[in-house]
């Protein structure tokens, strides 16, 4: 057997362990993993020079085609993702139309025609009809993952339709009856946050911390507990997106101990920045908000204790922010190119996070949670050849010249991707994304037949 690609002389890391050797791929799939002398001959052999080879990053949480045209975002933002070592992204998409099925067909085709890396979808529940449509959605699209939003008032600046507990209960009841069904929830107590926002807004404050203080951590913790109650009642797996409060993983782990299937996700920005950082202003508004240093450290404790199991970026490329009014400013930032360097710098280098745990959070767990493992999130023979080669010692300062708001510009990070392989194809190498890889992508959420 002659492989298409062999990467050898690498420090290979999976969620389960690490070894010296490499990986071989043929026709987009892994065909051999092991010591260098056990790998087959190949059309192309890359000497990793001892750098770290891991499964490609799976980002289970992003939003594209919100402000900019969807086809354009799928080209530009998946190129940015490839630079960051991402090989699969899962988009939370939403429509206010009665049916998701035509929306899925259009979005999956346009995505496949434009994206540089594989992609898939979760559907946001935005009207009652979407809940009733869940069995048809599963059959016609293969989507098993549904999201509901708290924390948004009806007149919010990005047009999200907020959920009710009734919507959550009904969605969980439907998803629990589906093999692989899972419900994601944006957890903030909408009523409390609205009341506090009106109080703080009346003071005239426009600083970033005012937004954080208008929806304090207990708003999240209360709603996480409430969603766990409904998940336990219905037997539905629960995925808590973009967790900001150190207490949320604690109560989730207590629920897991009694058998509730709940997964806590956090994001690089909640692990690295605070609402009180001097260089940040209202343009760093994110929903839910950045917190203080105590919550940052609480999340890191959750990671080391195994209570925070998943990482997502919540990458969303909005138009340039207006910077005029904190309360009407759109919330959201971009993170694709830096999420892996941020975690290597802040986690691996500064705190001693094992690389195996990093792989578990940014690849293995998302793949398992959303039904992609072992095709994704694995280096097992037969898995997709999705790989990232990282130079753990390379230092570089973050610069941003793309879409959306970056809150990391000027930070010196240590540990950068130098090569990204998507289904056996090198899509990022030598500091550049292969322009011909646009349209190489597969949609990973699709009907079974």
Start-end ranges of CATH 2.30.40.10 in the chain? 3-52+385-436
Tell me the per-residue pLDDT of 343-389, one tens digit each, with 9 for 90 and over.
999 999 999 999 999 999 999 999 999 999 999 999 999 999 999 99
CA dihedral 294, 295, 301, 307 (to 10 degrees): 160
Name which of 343, 277, 344, 281 is nearest 311 in CA terms: 343
In this structure, the number of other CB atoms found within 10 A of the CB of residue 177 comes to 14
Compute the average pLDDT of residues 124-129: 98
Confidence grade of residue 340 (pLDDT, cut at 50, 70, 90): very high
CB 82 within 8 A of CB 427: yes
Confidence grade of residue 99 (pLDDT, cut at 50, 70, 90): very high
pLDDT of residue 246: 98
Name which of 315, 415, 310 is nearest 372 in CA terms: 310
Rounded to whole angstroms, the Cα distance separating 107 from 405 reads 24
Q: Which two tokens stand for residue 232?
A: 């336990």
Name which of 359, 404, 405, 430 is nearest 12 in CA terms: 359
CB 177 within 8 A of CB 230: no
3-state secondary structure of 20: strand
CA dihedral 403, 117, 149, 247 (to 10 degrees): -90
Average pLDDT over the chain, rounded to an integer? 97
Rounded to whole angstroms, the Cα distance separating 310 from 12 reads 21
Start-end ranges of CATH 3.20.20.140 in the chain? 56-369
Does domain 3-52+385-436 fall under CATH 2.30.40.10? My reply is yes
Rounded to whole angstroms, the Cα distance separating 141 from 122 reads 11
Name which of 58, 145, 11, 52 is nearest 373 in CA terms: 58
CATH number listed for the domain at residues 56-369:
3.20.20.140
Q: Read off the pTM.
A: 0.97
Please tell me whether the peptide bond between 177 and the residue prior to it is cis, using omega within 30 degrees of 0: no
The DSSP code sequence of 217-273 is HHHHHHHHHHHHHHHHHHT--EEE-S---THHHHHHHHHHHTT--EEEEE-HHHHH-
Compute the average pLDDT of residues 48-76: 98
In this structure, the number of other CB atoms found within 10 A of the CB of residue 145 comes to 24
Tell me the per-residue pLDDT of 282-334, one tens digit each, with 9 for 90 and over.
999 999 999 999 999 999 999 999 999 999 999 999 999 999 999 999 999 99
Q: Which two tokens stand for residue 411?
A: 């930070």
């Amino acid at each position: 057997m002659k492989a298409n690609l062999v990467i050898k002389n690498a420090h290979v890391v999976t969620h389960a362990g690490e070894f010296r050797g490499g990986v071989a791929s043929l026709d987009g799939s892994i065909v051999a993993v092991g010591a260098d002398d056990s790998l087959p001959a190949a059309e192309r052999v890359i000497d990793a020079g001892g750098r770290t080879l891991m499964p490609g990053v799976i980002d289970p949480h992003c939003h594209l085609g919100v402000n900019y045209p969807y086809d354009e975002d799928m080209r530009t933002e998946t190129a940015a993702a490839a630079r960051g070592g991402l090989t699969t992204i899962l988009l939370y998409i939403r429509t206010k139309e009665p049916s998701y099925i035509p929306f899925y067909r259009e979005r999956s085709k346009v995505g496949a025609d434009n994206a540089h890396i594989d992609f898939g979808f979760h559907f946001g529940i935005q009207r009652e009809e979407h809940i009733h449509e869940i069995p048809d959605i599963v059959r016609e699209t293969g989507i098993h993952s549904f999201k509901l939003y708290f924390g948004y008032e009806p007149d919010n600046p990005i047009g999200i339709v907020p959920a009710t507990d009734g919507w959550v209960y009904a969605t969980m009841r439907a998803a629990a009856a589906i093999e692989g069904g899972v419900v994601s929830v944006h957890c903030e107590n909408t009523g409390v946050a609205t009341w506090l926002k009106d109080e703080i807004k009346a003071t005239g404050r426009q600083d970033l911390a005012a937004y954080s203080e208008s929806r304090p951590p207990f708003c999240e913790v209360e709603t996480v507990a409430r969603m766990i109650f409904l998940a336990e009642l219905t037997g539905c797996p629960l995925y808590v997106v973009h967790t900001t409060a150190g207490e949320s993983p604690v109560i989730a782990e207590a629920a897991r101990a009694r058998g509730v299937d709940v997964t806590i996700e956090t994001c690089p920005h909640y692990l690295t920045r605070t609402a009180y950082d001097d260089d940040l202003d209202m343009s760093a508004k994110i929903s839910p908000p950045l917190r203080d240093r105590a919550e940052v450290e609480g999340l890191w404790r959750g990671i080391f204790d195994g209570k925070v199991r998943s990482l997502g970026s919540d990458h969303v490329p909005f138009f340039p922010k207006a910077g005029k009014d904190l309360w009407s400013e759109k919330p959201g930032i971009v993170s694709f190119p830096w999420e892996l360097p941020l975690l290597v710098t802040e986690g691996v280098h500064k705190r001693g996070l094992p690389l195996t745990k990093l792989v578990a959070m940014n690849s293995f767990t998302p793949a398992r949670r959303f039904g992609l493992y072992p095709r994704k999130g694995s280096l097992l023979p037969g898995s997709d050849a999705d790989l990232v080669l990282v130079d753990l010692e390379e230092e570089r300062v973050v610069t941003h010249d793309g879409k959306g708001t970056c809150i990391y510009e000027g930070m010196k990070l240590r540990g950068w991707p130098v090569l990204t392989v998507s289904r056996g194809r090198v899509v990022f190498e030598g500091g550049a994304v292969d322009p011909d890889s646009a349209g190489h992508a597969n949609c990973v959420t699709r009907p079974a037949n």
